[in-house]
Amino acid sequence: MYGICLSTDAHQYTTLAKAMDNAAAFAGASANSGVLAQNWLDLEAEYARSSFDQRHQVVASVEYTTGAGITGGALLDGWKGRLFKDWSFVGQMTTGSGTPLTPTFFSPLSGTGIIGGTRPSLTGAPVDEAPDGYYANPAAFTVPAPGEWGTAARNSITGPSQFSLNAAMSRTFRLKDRVTMDFRIDATNVLNRVTYSSVTTLISSQQFGLPNRTNDMRKLRSSIRVGF
């Protein structure tokens, strides 16, 4: 009688979070990068979602091995044992909602002499009712009237959702008593799915609300390691 012991280990983590603050950036402030308070006399207007506020995230991982050696539970011997033993498969999927972004437009910052990014005003159109392919509704924002600050909140746009699926496959070859060779293939973005990492937030741009940068497509990396 022949048998083989298969081992599977699976984990799933779910995160539900909410973060609010009035600090545009913890790493420092710069007028040109638009992370200073829009109106230093009205700091309450800066209170909004944190830049790292990701409301939902699910991480699921699975590890599958066919066993190693006699004591590892793999009872096959002969050519079947050499074919099926010492394989390992690992996979991890991460998916989540997008992080917030701030709509901006360039104008002189009052009393500074600096041209910086300030926020636009709301028109009353729904911000979330964006056209297909957009992450913000261009009709919801407009340039404020001269001498007025924008009424749009900081981080009032939700960016692209998060999704990644990575996997790895490895095999240990036992060449001699003390000599082993490990062969491994790592794959990122296994499905070769297009996901976006950035969106145009400048309302004066014709590309406002559209993604302008993608995450890496599928990558494969193989490695061989010899132990003795």
Per-residue pLDDT tens digits for 61-78: 999 888 765 554 455 566
Instruction: Single out the residue of 88, 32, 26 nearest to residue 51, CA to CA.
Output: 26
Maximum Cα–Cα distance across the chain:
87
6: pLDDT strictly greater than 50: no
Q: What are the backbone angles phi and psi of residue 84, rounded to the nearest 5°?
A: -100, -20
Confidence label for 56 from pLDDT (cuts 50, 70 and 90) = very high
CA distance 34 to 85: 57
Beta bridge partners of 134: none
Distant-in-sequence, close-in-space partners of 176: CB < 8 Å, separation ≥ 6: none
Distances (CA, A) of 225 to 63, 145, 172, 176: 20, 65, 9, 15
Averaged over 14-36, what is the pLDDT?
A: 65
Tens-digit pLDDT profile for residues 122-161: 999 999 899 999 999 999 999 988 878 889 998 999 999 9
Of the candidates 20, 82, 29, the residue with the CA atom closest to the CA atom of residue 47: 20
Per-residue confidence (pLDDT) for residue 3, from 0 to 100: 36
Give the 3-state secondary structure of the chain.
CCCCCCEEEEEEEEEECCCEECCCCCCCCCCCCCCCCCCCCCHHHHCEECCCCCCEEEEEEEEEECCCCCCCCCCCCHHHHHHHCCEEEEEEEEEECCCEECCEEEEEECCCCEEEEECCEECCCCCCCCCCCCCCCHHHEECCCCCCCCCCCCCCEECCCEEEEEEEEEEEEECCCCCEEEEEEEEECCCCCCCEEEECCECCCCCCCCEEEECCCCEEEEEEEEEC
- Which among 10-24, 62-76, 102-116 has the top mean pLDDT? 10-24
Distance CA 159, CA 199 (A): 7
**pLDDT tens-digit series, residues 158-192:** 999 999 999 999 998 888 878 889 999 999 999 99
